[in-house]
């Protein structure tokens, strides 16, 4: 785990990089519990202790004690597993703050779908089922969901987002790179490596593989359909091969950042949070129509990041960015 992290994108303190939130108090809560701050159980035999929920609670109490209790505006945000944590804890976050505080939540790349993989199985469901079982999450999941669905299904955001009472903004790519790597075509579902070239660079995909991704996009669009009917919610689903767009400066707010309806991610989130526009919801047309994407390419043998002029970015194979972000803007006397 890195000892120091750059605050870029939504965490930047520079107005030219983060026009709406640059002067907020910004807190980044590191993640390591494996269940998006939801576990609270232990295995006496193996002496493993799962304490994500307690870590969340203690952290929130600490933030409240040092000034968040007096915040007049607050935004709970997270990327990947942190995006899932933002969904799981959104209403809880709202309840921690005074009713006078304007509190909203943002999930970036947290819409993990219960999708069929390339072998016809459910690779991510198998992973989530293990997490739910090992960490005994049944008791902590939304009862609104568990009253009519099994616990594993209630760890998937698609079965939770429509019941969240607090205003929520969903930011996701329709062809999420992490889900392509770990859910749709993981090695267990593709032992022969037929999908290896395609999942490392979408330009190496054949027509049937692209069609498989189009079906995943359709599932993503259907999953947010009910959520999008609420006036208080926001949506930005772009047809890119990427993962996490709020913390990367190039995708958050740069001259050539991805756009939908002429708006960059930062502008769309700002319009939604500050109520500058009504119905801040945009779903991109299917690939390959979007020319503003910053698509990711994965090099399995490379550790360095390379940026090409064509807005295609080269990364080593990665796991989810496991962080939870909390942004709070305190009343003036608490600003320093």
Q: Which residues are catalytic?
A: 80, 176, 243
Tokens, residue 239: 């047809």
Those residues with Cβ within 8 angstroms of residue 230's Cβ, 6 or more apart along the chain or in another chain: none
Q: Which of 130, 128, 135, 109 is nearest to 38 (CA)?
A: 135
Residues 318/109, Cβ–Cβ less than 8 Å: no
- Is 134 strand, coil or helix? helix
Rounded alpha-carbon distances, angstroms, from residue 244 to 6, 106, 140, 207, 298: 15, 12, 26, 26, 15
Which bin fits 311, alpha (ψ -120 to 50), beta or left (φ > 0)? left
Q: What whole-number distance in Å separates Cα of residue 78 and Cα of residue 90?
A: 11
Q: Which of 118, 114, 103, 241 is nearest to 172 (CA)?
A: 241
| DSSP state letters, 292-308 | S--EEEE-TT--S-EE-
Q: What whole-number distance in Å separates Cα of residue 74 and Cα of residue 287?
A: 35
Upstream peptide bond of 140 is cis (omega within 30 degrees of 0): no
DSSP 8: -
């Amino acid at each position: 785990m890195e000892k120091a992290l750059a605050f870029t994108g939504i965490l930047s303190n520079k107005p030219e990089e983060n026009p709406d939130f640059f002067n907020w108090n910004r807190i980044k809560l590191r993640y390591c519990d494996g269940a998006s701050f939801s576990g609270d159980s232990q295995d006496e035999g193996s002496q493993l202790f799962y304490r994500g929920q307690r870590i969340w609670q203690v952290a929130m109490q600490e933030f409240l004690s040092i000034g968040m209790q007096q915040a007049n505006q607050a935004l709970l945000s997270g990327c990947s597993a942190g995006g899932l944590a933002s969904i799981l804890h959104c209403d809880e976050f709202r309840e921690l703050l005074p009713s006078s505080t304007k509190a909203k939540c943002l999930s970036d790349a947290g819409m993990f779908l219960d999708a069929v993989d390339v072998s016809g199985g459910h690779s991510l469901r198998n992973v989530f089922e293990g997490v739910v079982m090992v960490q005994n999450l049944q008791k902590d999941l939304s009862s609104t969901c568990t009253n009519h669905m099994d616990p594993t299904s209630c760890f998937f955001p698609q079965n939770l987002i429509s019941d969240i009472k607090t205003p929520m903004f969903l930011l996701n790519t329709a062809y999420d790179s992490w889900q392509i790597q770990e859910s749709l075509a993981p090695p267990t579902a593709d032992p022969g490596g037929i999908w290896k070239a395609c999942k490392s660079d979408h330009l190496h995909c054949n027509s049937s593989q692209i069609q498989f991704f189009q079906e995943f996009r359709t599932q993503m669009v259907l999953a947010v359909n009910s959520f999008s009917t609420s006036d208080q919610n926001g949506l930005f689903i772009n047809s890119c091969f990427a993962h996490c767009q709020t913390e990367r400066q190039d995708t958050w707010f740069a001259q050539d950042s991805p756009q939908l309806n002429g708006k960059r991610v930062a502008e769309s989130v700002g319009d939604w949070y500050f109520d500058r526009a009504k119905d801040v919801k945009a779903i991109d047309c299917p690939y390959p129509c979007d020319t503003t994407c910053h698509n990711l390419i994965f090099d399995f043998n490379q550790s360095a990041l390379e940026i090409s002029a064509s807005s295609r970015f080269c990364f080593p194979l990665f796991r989810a960015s496991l962080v939870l972000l909390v942004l709070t803007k305190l009343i003036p006397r608490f600003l320093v």
